[in-house]
Chains A and B, each alone.
Chain A
């Protein structure tokens, strides 16, 4: 396998090199492309590596309409996980609220009109959310969302993956597992399991990267005491002479 690869064609060649089927007689090139795409989708869903902050084009307020899609539909990346939502109209974040809390807070939430302040995802179809209160007037001021998207499929040979080079190898392992699993000449379930382990190692390490900074050192932004998971509190900051910064400059 080369040191770095990013395009569908490069990934397919890497898979073919490992299966030994360089002419795609056992596993056709279309089939390998599909396996690479499946592995790509799985890897992004397993690790949540991608992150997008963008406008939710289909969430503009419509008078009397309570439920909206979380992100725009066809042609856009689909959602894996919604992180935050906010409206530009009032320049504030819309906090999520659980359905249980909402029902306790306002039994009339299904009909309450006003200016939306919270959103609820529970009780709605996947990919949709409810605004509370329900918009009283129509407005075209956009909503913004921050979310983990599902990547667009790689359709042409020149399409590149959005993950860095060092993660792209996991896609090759994921595709190899699928190749060797297939019930056909060339099937090798033990090798398939081996490649699955390799893929899982990449997933596991990528997931830990997301939280590592805070796993050893956490601090409060305002007020309260810092929370330190390991090793107790850090040593106090040294007392610096008054001209410390000037001295460094």
Chain B
């Protein structure tokens, strides 16, 4: 579905006149944009990466204020110096295995997350010299579409799930109209599609089965 088709589908389901709709106080394009942001944040289908410059002798990095795009979930971290992906760990495992692990310096080889957006690295970069950078791969909300200019384009995720945006908008508009029963019905449908997309995006269910090529 293109953005224009999504808008048309919303009007069709509401039996609305697209030229003079009853829901005239709602900017339909703003609502579709909001639906796109909500669906993307909840299903986490979009993955991007950005470099984070390391700081001499620093273990923790606030990704919310360092990255130019708000991260949803950090997936992996690549060390640009040693050209390898860093191993995930936790501060509990570090505490358990290494005494005073916050003091050694070197090329970071493990990473962990504190809170939701604080990245920790171990060992921390040396206190002198160029600390280099790491590439953080993370889930993020994509840039919103510019509607109606982008009407001919489509949402960035699989077309099977485009209907979710329709359900979200219908639910939202019906809520405002106090048609709670119908709003709940559409929100239930939206939530099902979010769960399905989320499973696909996070657990790799959209990956081809490669076992027949490499054996068991």
Q: In the complex, what residue of chain A is closest to B42 when comparing beta carbons? A: A205
Whether A188 contacts B178 in the complex (CB less than 8 A), given A2-B30, A51-B115, A245-B83, comes out as: yes
- A20 proximal to B (CB < 8 A): yes
CB interface residues, B 84-102, toward A, < 8 Å: 87-91, 93-95, 97-100
- A218 proximal to B (CB < 8 A): yes
- B135 proximal to A (CB < 8 A): no
How does the 8 Å CB contact mask read for B91-123 relative to A, with 1 for contact and 0 for none? 101110111100100000010011111100010
- B151 proximal to A (CB < 8 A): no
- A53 proximal to B (CB < 8 A): yes
A residues sitting closer than 8 Å to B (CB atoms) are 1-4, 18, 20, 47-51, 53, 83-84, 91-93, 95, 146, 148, 164-166, 169, 188, 190-191, 194, 197-198, 201-202, 205-206, 209-210, 212-214, 217-223, 245, 248-249
Whether A190 contacts B184 in the complex (CB less than 8 A), given A48-B115, A169-B38, A221-B94, comes out as: yes
What are 25 A-B contacts defined by CB distance under 8 Å?
Answer: A1-B34, A3-B30, A3-B144, A18-B175, A18-B176, A47-B116, A51-B114, A51-B115, A51-B116, A83-B91, A91-B103, A92-B99, A146-B114, A164-B117, A165-B70, A191-B175, A194-B175, A194-B184, A209-B73, A212-B202, A219-B89, A220-B97, A221-B94, A221-B97, A221-B98
- B60 proximal to A (CB < 8 A): yes
How does the 8 Å CB contact mask read for B10-44 relative to A, with 1 for contact and 0 for none? 00000000000000000000100110011001100
Whether A206 contacts B116 in the complex (CB less than 8 A), given A188-B178, A188-B180, A213-B74, comes out as: yes
Whether A221 contacts B93 in the complex (CB less than 8 A), given A194-B184, A212-B202, comes out as: yes
Q: Which of A4, A164, A165, A188 has the most CB of B within 10 A?
A: A164
Tell me the bound Cα distance from A148 to B99 in angstroms: 23
Residues of the A chain whose Cβ atoms lie less than 8 Å from the Cβ of B54: none
B34 touches A166 (CB 8 A): no
- B82 proximal to A (CB < 8 A): yes
Give the top 3 A-B pairs by smallest Cβ distance, nearest first. Answer: A51-B115, A166-B41, A222-B97
B191 touches A221 (CB 8 A): no
